[in-house]
Amino acid sequence: MTTMNAAVVTSFDEPPHYRGFETPTPHGEHEVLAEVLAAGLHPRVRSGASGSHYTSTGTLPMVPGVDAVARLADGSLVYFISDDDRVGTMAERTVIDLRRAIPLPEDADVARIAASMNPAMSSWVALHARVEMTPGASVLILGATGSAGRAAVQVARRLGAGRIVGAGRDPERLEAVTRLGADAVIQLTDDADATARAFAQTAAEVDVVIDYLWAAPAALAMSAILHARADRSRRLDWVQIGSMAGSDITLPSALFRSANLHVVGNGQGSVSPAGYRAQLPALAAEVQAGTIGVEPRTEPLADVERAWTERELPGERVVLVP
C-alpha cells in the first residue's frame, strides 16, 4: 500500500486534518492517477465534509474535494470534476475519470481555474442546459453576493442578458455586484414587506431567476414578482441551484395556477456528467481570459485545518495547493 498526504475528514463535526491516506487506485480504461495541483474549497466541498450533502454516504474517513486542476502522467494539465464515489481532490494525488476531465493549456492559470470553475459553472450550465435564455433577456440572481452569484452576473452578461438584477443581504457586497455589471440590486432585509416591494418594483418583469438561496427569500421573491407582473401568463423560468437560506420551501399552489412559472433545478443529477463536460471547455476559456471568475486565495494543503475555518473575503475562493 502506498500513502500520500491529504486533507482527511475523521469526524463530520471537525475540519479535515492533514495526514497520510492510502493512495487511490485507478480502475477500468477511463481512470488514471494524477497529481493534484490546486483544489477549490467550495460550499459543496464543505457540505460533503460535514456529511450534509444530498450525495453523502456517511462513510468516514474521507478525503473531501469535488474538482481540481491536475497534471497527468504525460505532463498535460486537466481540469476535472470528481466522481462522488471516489477519494476527493484535497490530496497530493487522486483518481480522475477522463470522461469528466477537460484539457487545459500549459500556461493555464491553475489557481484561478480551480477557484472559478465550480461557482461559475452553476449559472453557465443552467443558462445553456436548463433554460433557454433569449438574447436581451432580463435575469435576476438571488444570492448575488456570493462567489457563484457574482460569477452569474458575469455569465449572464457574457451570454447576452439585457438586464441583470442582483439580490443579496450585504449592502457593501451588493455595491460590488453593481461594479461587476448588475443594472440594479435588491437588498434582502428583515423587513419582509419592504423586501417584497423592492422585488415588485425592480424585478417584476424578469425572464429568468438564478436562485442560490431557496427557502424564505425565494418564496418571498417568487410571490412578489408574480403578483406584480404585468402579464402573469408571460413565462418565468426559475432555476434552483443552491440552498444557502435553507433546504425547504412552502409555496402556495395558486402561484403555479395563476402564473406561467417553471421551476427547474441545476446540479448533479439534473445534468449528466457528459452534459456538464460538454459545457466546460468554453467556460474554462472564459475563466482563463479573465471575463468570468473569482479571485483565488491559495493556501498550502498542509494548512487545511486553518484555511477551512477562515472567512473568505467577498469574491474570493480558497484554493488548496498540495
Residue 272 Cβ vs ligand NAP, minimum distance, rounded to whole Å:
13
Note whether 150 and 174 are within 8 A (CB).
no
Site membership for ligand NAP, residue 240 (CB under 6 A): no
- Nearest residue to ligand NAP, scored by beta-carbon proximity: 146
Q: Build a one-symbol-per-residue string for 184-223: x at contacts with ligand NAP by CB under 6 A, - elsewhere.
A: ----x-----------------------xx---x------
**Residue of 198, 132, 208 whose CA lies nearest to 167:** 198
Q: Looking at the chain, which runs of residues are DSSP E strands?
A: 3-8, 17-22, 31-40, 67-71, 77-81, 93-97, 101-104, 138-142, 163-168, 184-187, 208-211, 236-240, 261-265, 295-300, 316-321
> Between vectors from CA 62 to CA 28 and to CA 265, what angle results, nearest 5°?
80
**Residue of 277, 241, 282, 301 whose CA lies nearest to 111:** 301
Contact positions with ligand NAP (CB under 6 A) in 159-178: 168-170, 173
Residue 156 Cβ vs ligand NAP, minimum distance, rounded to whole Å:
14
Report phi then psi at 210, rounded to 5.
-105, 110
Rg (CA), the chain: 20
Contact positions with ligand NAP (CB under 6 A) in 109-128: 118-119, 122
* Cell numbers given for 202: 425592480
Cβ proximity to ligand NAP, 161 vs 167, nearer residue? 167
The residue within the footprint of ligand NAP, chosen from 26, 61, 162, 267 (CB under 6 A), is 267
The residue within the footprint of ligand NAP, chosen from 24, 64, 88, 149 (CB under 6 A), is 149
Cβ proximity to ligand NAP, 115 vs 261, nearer residue? 115
Residue 232 Cβ vs ligand NAP, minimum distance, rounded to whole Å:
26
Q: Build a one-symbol-per-residue string for 34-73: x at contacts with ligand NAP by CB under 6 A, - elsewhere.
A: --------xxx-----------------------------
Report phi then psi at 299, rounded to 5.
-135, 145
Largest pairwise CA distance in the chain: 66
Grid cell 412559472 in the structure block, residue: 261
The residue within the footprint of ligand NAP, chosen from 89, 94, 138, 147 (CB under 6 A), is 147
Site stretch for ligand NAP (CB under 6 A), options 79-87, 129-137, 239-247, 251-259: 239-247
Residue 107 Cβ vs ligand NAP, minimum distance, rounded to whole Å:
26
* Cell numbers given for 179: 461594479
* Cell numbers given for 286: 472564459
Residues β-bridged to residue 320: 39, 299
**Residue of 176, 158, 2 whose CA lies nearest to 91:** 2
Cβ proximity to ligand NAP, 32 vs 129, nearer residue? 129
Site stretch for ligand NAP (CB under 6 A), options 18-26, 105-113, 128-136, 147-155: 147-155
**Residue of 186, 53, 218, 208 whose CA lies nearest to 123:** 208
Q: Build a one-symbol-per-residue string for 84-113: x at contacts with ligand NAP by CB under 6 A, - elsewhere.
A: ------------------------------
User: Binding residues for ligand NAP, per CB under 6 A?
Assistant: 42-44, 118-119, 122, 143, 145-149, 168-170, 173, 188, 212-213, 217, 241-245, 266-267
